């Protein structure tokens, strides 16, 4: 059988399973999550052994450090996946909730009811934890999910998919509600992208090349973000102790992820005192600074001259672009030109400028006096997230349970007819 035929059969099974998931009780879905949390603890060693095989193969193939970091499962990561299951159990089931019910003059009561999207296809690279994070969110929100991980994580993903199916069976839910594409044939992605009669939405998660390839081929809606070019703007009069702490965290705490800081913008009046101190702190954390001429004059041997392509670039590494700006308007102009609608923050003590920045900066998360690293579903109270959308339809920002549903109109009447 061809890869295309295999993918179609998988999608057909997922569509059928999605009907059962849409009607499943909250108790059944929570039973699945509880069973999976237990399996992630009791079967940890088997999953880590499978991950070790993937890591050995990746190192032999010369995989770079940021991708190796994303590929690696540890006992702590396994515990965090189990914790995510428990956190999602504690969240309200969005399916069936009625919002905004209001009466019309003719006596009709009009509301909107949360409903599953249907079948979600996740296409992702490197991160085997996405196999669990995506599945638990999709299933709690009443969706079936097709999981297409990268070939570099196949052994890890297969081990985790076995746990998903076992937990589904234990909860009395259809095993086909969570299916893993086990082939490494790239034709499988192209085939999945054409199955809009069965798959309701595709969510690609990985490098820009993967996402653009999916967007160019998909015949169904795609929830995406291409890049995470995140900025922090240090305003005149900012609390420099606080700003230094935030900037170092945003860049150095985990540089290989999409919500890491990629460009520091500093007000010209703050730059003479702030740049030398933050430059030393960043250098101590191993960060290479690539500075505009005005910033370079203040940083000296702590930095090197930035190339034009350093602005708007997602480094995924301990590298940071730095620019001195004239004011907040200049900073926002730079963000408009080089940003990726992901995460923008301002560090300021001025309430009016903080509120203006919140209104004007166009990103899925805009923050005041906080790290860019908080643009994450768990940190924002969503439980685990399935990804961060930088497109405004149908969701903008981290996608948790509610974002994995839609809303249909429901109308309650007493025999009204339209005149």
Q: Are residues 69 and 196 in the same domain?
A: yes
- Strands in 152-258 per DSSP E: 178-180, 201-205, 230-234
Q: Are residues 96 and 78 in the same domain?
A: yes
Quote the percentage of the chain above a pLDDT of 90.
88
Residue 254: domain span: 230-374
Looking at residue 381, its pLDDT comes to 83
CA–CA distance, 355 with 352 (Å, rounded to integer): 5
Q: Are residues 168 and 243 in the same domain?
A: no
Q: Are residues 253 and 174 in the same domain?
A: no
Whether 390 is covered by a domain: the verdict is no
Residue 400 — pLDDT band, cuts 50, 70, 90? Answer: confident
Give the chain's length.
419
Whether 384 is covered by a domain: the verdict is no
Q: Are residues 99 and 216 in the same domain?
A: yes
Could you identify the residue written with the tokens 């490098």?
Answer: 207
The answer on pLDDT for 57 being more than 90 is: yes
User: What three-state secondary structure class fits 182?
Assistant: coil
Strands 405-412 vs 397-398: parallel, antiparallel or unpaired: unpaired
Looking at residue 358, its pLDDT comes to 98
123, 192 contact by CB (below 8 A): yes
Q: Are residues 152 and 290 in the same domain?
A: no
Q: Which helix (H) or strand (E) holds 352?
A: helix 351-360
Q: What is the pLDDT of residues 312-367, one digit of tens each?
A: 999 999 999 999 999 999 999 999 999 999 999 999 999 999 999 999 999 999 99
Two tokens at 320?
């940071």
Q: Residue 195: which CATH number?
A: 3.40.605.10
The answer on pLDDT for 50 being more than 90 is: yes
Contacts of 64 (CB under 8 A, 6+ apart): none
Residue 225 — pLDDT band, cuts 50, 70, 90? Answer: confident
Q: Are residues 173 and 262 in the same domain?
A: no
Q: Are residues 237 and 210 in the same domain?
A: no
Q: What is the pLDDT of residues 102-137, one digit of tens each?
A: 999 999 999 999 999 999 999 998 889 999 999 999
Q: Are residues 238 and 206 in the same domain?
A: no
CA–CA distance, 165 with 176 (Å, rounded to integer): 8
Measured at the alpha carbon of residue 375, what is the angle toward residues 128 and 361, in degrees to the nearest 5?
140
Whether 297 is covered by a domain: the verdict is yes
CB contact burial 63-76 (16+ within 10 A = b; e otherwise)? beebbbbbbbbeee
| Number of folded domains that form the chain | 2
Residue 11 — pLDDT band, cuts 50, 70, 90? Answer: very high
The Cα-based distances of 49 to 52, 73, 131, 330, 410 in angstroms read 5, 10, 17, 51, 50
Looking at residue 67, its pLDDT comes to 86
| CA 279 from centre of chain | 29
Give me the phi and psi of 381, to 5 degrees please: 90, 15
């Amino acid at each position: 059988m061809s890869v295309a035929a295999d993918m179609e059969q998988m999608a057909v099974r997922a569509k059928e399973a999605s009907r059962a998931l849409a009607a499943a009780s909250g108790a059944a879905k929570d039973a699945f999550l509880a069973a999976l949390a237990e399996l992630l603890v009791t079967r940890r060693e088997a999953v880590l052994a499978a991950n070790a095989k993937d890591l050995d193969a990746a190192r032999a193939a010369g995989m770079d450090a940021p991708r190796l970091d994303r590929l690696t499962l540890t006992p702590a990561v396994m515990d965090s996946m189990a914790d995510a299951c428990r956190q999602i159990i504690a969240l309200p089931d969005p399916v069936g909730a009625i919002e905004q019910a209001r009466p019309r003059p003719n006596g009709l009561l009009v509301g909107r009811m949360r409903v599953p999207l249907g079948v979600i296809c996740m296409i992702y690279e490197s991160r085997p934890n996405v196999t669990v994070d995506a599945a638990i969110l999709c299933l709690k929100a009443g969706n079936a999910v097709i999981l297409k991980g990268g070939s570099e994580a196949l052994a890890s993903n297969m081990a985790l998919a076995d746990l998903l199916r076992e937990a589904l069976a234990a909860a009395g839910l259809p095993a086909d509600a969570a299916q893993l594409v086990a082939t490494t044939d790239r034709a499988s992605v192209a085939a999945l992208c054409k199955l809009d009669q069965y798959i309701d939405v595709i969510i690609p998660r990985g490098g820009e090349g993967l996402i653009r390839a999916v967007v160019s081929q998909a015949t169904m809606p795609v929830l995406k973000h291409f890049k995470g070019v995140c900025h922090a703007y240090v305003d005149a009069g900012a609390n420099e102790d606080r700003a230094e702490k935030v900037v170092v965290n945003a860049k150095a705490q985990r540089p290989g992820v999409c919500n890491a800081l990629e460009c520091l913008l500093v007000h010209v009046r703050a730059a003479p005192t702030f740049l030398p101190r933050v430059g030393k702190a960043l250098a101590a954390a191993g960060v290479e600074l690539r500075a505009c001429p005005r910033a370079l004059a203040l940083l000296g041997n702590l930095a090197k001259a930035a190339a034009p392509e350093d602005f708007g670039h997602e480094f995924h590494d301990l590298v940071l672009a730095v620019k001195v700006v004239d004011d907040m308007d200049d900073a926002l102009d730079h963000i408009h030109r080089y940003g990726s609608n992901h995460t923008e923050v301002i560090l300021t003590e001025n309430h009016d400028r903080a509120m203006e920045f919140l209104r004007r900066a166009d990103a899925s998360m805009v923050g005041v006096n906080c790290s860019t690293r908080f643009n994450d579903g768990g940190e924002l109270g969503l439980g685990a997230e399935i990804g961060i959308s930088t497109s405004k339809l149908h969701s903008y920002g981290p996608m948790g349970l509610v974002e994995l549903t839609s809303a249909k109109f429901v109308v309650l009447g007493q025999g009204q007819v339209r005149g």
